[in-house]
Amino acid sequence: MSLAAINAPSADAAAESPVLELRNLTRVFSIGKRFLREGKPLRAVDGVSLSIPRGEVLAIVGESGCGKTTLSRMMLGLQQPTSGEIFVSGEPLADVDRKAFARRVQPVFQDPYSSLNPRKTIGQIIADPLHIHGVGAPADRLAAAQDMMERVGLARRLVHSYPSQLSGGQRQRVAIARALVMRPEILICDEPTSALDVSVQAQILNLLQTLRAELNLTYVFITHDLSVVEYMADHVAVMYLGRILETGPVREVLHAPRHPYTRALLDSILTPEPGLGLPRPDLGRGFPDPLDPPPGCRFHPRCPKAFAPCATLPPARVSEGDASVECHLYD
């Protein structure tokens, strides 16, 4: 296959189905399972539906352990959903060839230290996906890797260097170049800057913004940091104990939040903990045990607005325009 032929989106693909759609996605882990002993079910992701139009940045935000990484691993095809479906440009993921899917959807992980092979040169690492997919001759692959290095702001002379010779920011640029070398449509970024120095974080976010515009990319951006959401995203989904409690345009959700949990998150960043990203909202009670989630609305034990039905009845999702909220105050 030639380099030019990969992933040129067909007119049909561009016909506007969402580039990525999740329908009622659920992932249950069995905890403490032993031979002949049933494990306890942990619903890490529980009935998530999201629709991501082409060219958008969707941020997924929530506290540690709410299921963000599990959700992103399912979107990358690295983890099977227990139930529910994923569609890529309208096509069920189950019908998309594994290799074709890997060309269209690529990850950028949190830790650029452990995600790069220390025994390979930067040029080899970036060209690796082309090699794996049998794209181009070796000389073409090296040229494509060097072109990508330029795009992500890495000097060409680093092509023969090893990851250990690079800074954290440079390594994350390598990871981004590797993710982009096959010209995917979608990048799934799981906390891509949270392991970096604060001064470098802004550079990487700027780079991702530039690349998105240049390469017409769609991003799913997982983060703890609401300032990153504000800077990067068009839409945001707020996740809690495996469920999406609120979605909407970033401006709307961050400036006029509907859900009491979103409000608590926003209040919590006004507490004096700079640089810590998203602290736990101080709602008087801790994060519930995911093995024993509260009945009814799962936020009710911490919710300052809880009223009679909240403890027993799960709220339905109510949509208005391109925003939605799951709370009895609105249904």
Q: Kindly write out the interface string for residues 43-82 of this chain, putting x where it contacts Mg ion by CB under 5 A and - elsewhere.
A: -------------------------xx-------------
Element (H, E) at 136: none
Interface pick for ligand ATP out of 3, 17, 29, 283 (rule CB under 6 A) = 29
Sorted by sequence, the CB contacts under 8 Å of residue 183 that are 6+ apart come out as 6, 7, 103, 215
In angstroms, give the least distance from the CB of 67 to Mg ion.
9
Closest-CA residue to 286 (of 296, 301, 306): 301
The distance of closest approach from Cβ of residue 224 to ligand ATP in the complex, given in angstroms and rounded to an integer, is: 6
Q: Which of 19, 42, 48, 108 binds ligand ATP (CB under 6 A)?
A: 42
Q: Where does this chain touch ligand ATP (CB under 6 A) — which range of 63-71, 100-108, 115-123, 201-209?
A: 63-71
Using CB atoms within 10 A of its CB, is residue 220 exposed (0-12), middle (13-18) or buried (19+)? buried
The C-alpha atoms of residue 18 and residue 312 are separated, in whole angstroms, by: 35
Q: Does 135 bind ligand ATP (CB under 6 A)?
A: no
- Please report how close the Cβ of residue 276 comes to ligand SF4 at its closest, in angstroms: 24
The tokens describing 144, both together, are 């494509």
Q: Give the separation between CA 53 and CA 50, rounded to whole angstroms.
A: 10
Tell which one of 129, 136, 169, 290 touches ligand ATP (CB under 6 A).
290
Q: Please name the amino acid found at residue 50.
A: L
- Which one of Mg ion, ligand ATP, ligand SF4, none is in contact with 297 (Cβ closer than 5 to 8 A by kind)? ligand SF4
Q: Does 68 bind ligand ATP (CB under 6 A)?
A: yes
Question: What angle is formed at CA 210 by the lines to CA 208 and CA 215, rounded to 5 degrees?
Answer: 90
Question: What are φ and ψ of residue 88, in 5° steps?
Answer: -110, 115
- 10 Å Cβ neighbour count for 207? 17
With binding defined as CB under 6 A, does residue 243 bind ligand SF4?
Answer: no
Q: Phi first, then psi: what are they for 19, rounded to 5°?
A: -70, -30
Task: Name which position in 6, 44, 148, 174 contacts ligand ATP (CB under 6 A).
Answer: 44
For the chain, give the number of residues: 331
| Residue 84, C-beta contacts closer than 8 angstroms, at least 6 positions apart | 22, 23, 24, 25, 26, 47, 48
Q: Residue 310 binds which entry of Mg ion, ligand ATP, ligand SF4, none, with Cβ cut-offs from 5 to 8 Å by kind?
A: ligand SF4
The minimum distance between CB 327 and ligand SF4, in angstroms, equals 3
Rounded distance between C-alpha atoms, residue 245 and residue 327, angstroms? 8
User: What DSSP string runs through 68-113?
Assistant: HHHHHHHHTTSS--SEEEEEETTEEGGGS-HHHHHHHEEEE-S-TT
Q: Between residues 19 and 42, which has the closer beta carbon with respect to ligand ATP?
A: 42
Q: Does 54 bind ligand ATP (CB under 6 A)?
A: no
Residue with tokens 């998105």: 212
The residue among 67 and 136 lying less far from ligand ATP, judged by its C-beta, is 67
| CB 228, min distance to ligand SF4, A | 24
Is residue 70 within the footprint of ligand ATP (CB under 6 A)? yes
Q: Which is nearer to ligand ATP, 70 or 201 (CB)?
A: 70
Residues that bind ligand ATP (CB under 6 A): 29, 31, 42, 44, 62, 64-70, 290
**Residue numbers at the binding site for ligand SF4 (CB under 6 A):** 260, 297, 299-300, 303, 305-306, 310, 315, 327-329
